[in-house]
Amino acid sequence: MNKKVEVRYLGKKDYKETWDYQEELFKKTLDLKIKNRRENSAIPTENYFLFVEHPHVYTLGKSGDIENLLISEKELEEKNASFYKINRGGDITYHGPGQIVGYPILDLDNFFTDIHKYLRLLEETIIQTLAEYGFKAERSEGETGVWLDVGTPFARKICAMGVRASRWVTMHGFALNVNTDLGYFDNIIPCGIKGKAVTSLNVELGKEEIDLKEVEEKILKHFKILFKAEIEISKK
């Protein structure tokens, strides 16, 4: 089992370009798994973790409702935002500047074959990261992602999640609001959940801006421990 995870920092990158890149890595891993099975071989599959920051974009998961996008195509253009229907789970969400988006493309055969455990550990990675900033972040029953003040009238989501998996290979991932312009969430019903607020780390800390690199390092630290992974930073 190959527990090495290659971390690639993509910087600021268009959503569609990144989606295509994910699909390329995803297909490469799937093809190798199929080849191994067909030829009774055991060539190790690779694991990746992509960090990226997208321009303004709304994405709708395969089980999502287009009615949760509250603005027209013309208004999208006016806000310099794009929209895509995509192949992850979950409903509608927003990605944009100041948000840390993480896409682990893992062969879970290298770790554990349990998609629910995978999602719980991804959530736990964010929960433990936020604990370093003094917050008690939690899961909210029946609602994906990571939340603050669960069970109170002030519950608010700080991290959205949606994944796809095939033959135990994952793609898509999480979006943690750090310095995000929360006004863009007013144009959707985030994740299809009505009446719940969205927040960001800088708002919660009362700071103008948080160092994204610092938060990414904390995420990786907890991911490494929880997944018992070996982290390798890509030179590419």
Domain parsing of the chain, residue ranges: 4-233
159 is catalytic: no
Task: Please compute the mean of the pLDDT values over residues 116-129 and round it to a whole number.
Answer: 97
Residue 162 near residue 90 (C-beta atoms within 8 A) = yes
> Binding-site residues, please?
88-95, 160-162, 173-175
Tokens of 71: 């603005």
CA distances in angstroms from 197 to 28, 109, 149, listed in the order given: 39, 37, 11
Residue 141 has a pLDDT of: 87
Residue 92 has a pLDDT of: 87
CA distances in angstroms from 93 to 17, 60, 151, 155, 165, listed in the order given: 18, 7, 22, 17, 19
Q: Which of 5, 105, 176, 191 is catalytic?
A: 191
Homologous superfamily of 4-233: Bira Bifunctional Protein; Domain 2 (3.30.930.10)
> What is the percentage of the chain residues whose pLDDT exceeds 90?
77
> Binding-site residues for substrate, please?
88-95, 160-162, 173-175
Q: E strands within 116-212?
A: 138-140, 143-148, 156-166, 169-177, 197-198
**Angle formed at CA 155 by CA 151 and CA 160, multiple of 5 degrees:** 115
pTM of the full structure: 0.94
Q: Is the pLDDT of residue 231 over 80?
A: yes
Residue 189 has a pLDDT of: 80
Q: pLDDT tens across 142-194, in order?
A: 888 999 999 999 999 999 998 999 999 999 999 999 999 999 998 888 665 66
Task: Please compute the mean of the pLDDT values over residues 82-109 and round it to a whole number.
Answer: 92
Task: Please compute the mean of the pLDDT values over residues 120-146 and round it to a whole number.
Answer: 94
**What gap in Å lies between CA 28 and CA 36, rounded to an integer?**
12
**Residue 111 banded pLDDT, cuts 50, 70, 90:** very high
Residue 65 has a pLDDT of: 87
**Residue 235 banded pLDDT, cuts 50, 70, 90:** confident
Mean of pLDDT over the chain: 93
Residue 144 has a pLDDT of: 80
Q: Which range, of 19-33, 85-99, 111-125, 152-166, averages the lowest pLDDT?
A: 85-99
Residue 68 has a pLDDT of: 87
Q: Is the pLDDT of residue 195 over 80?
A: no
**What gap in Å lies between CA 91 and CA 161, rounded to an integer?**
10
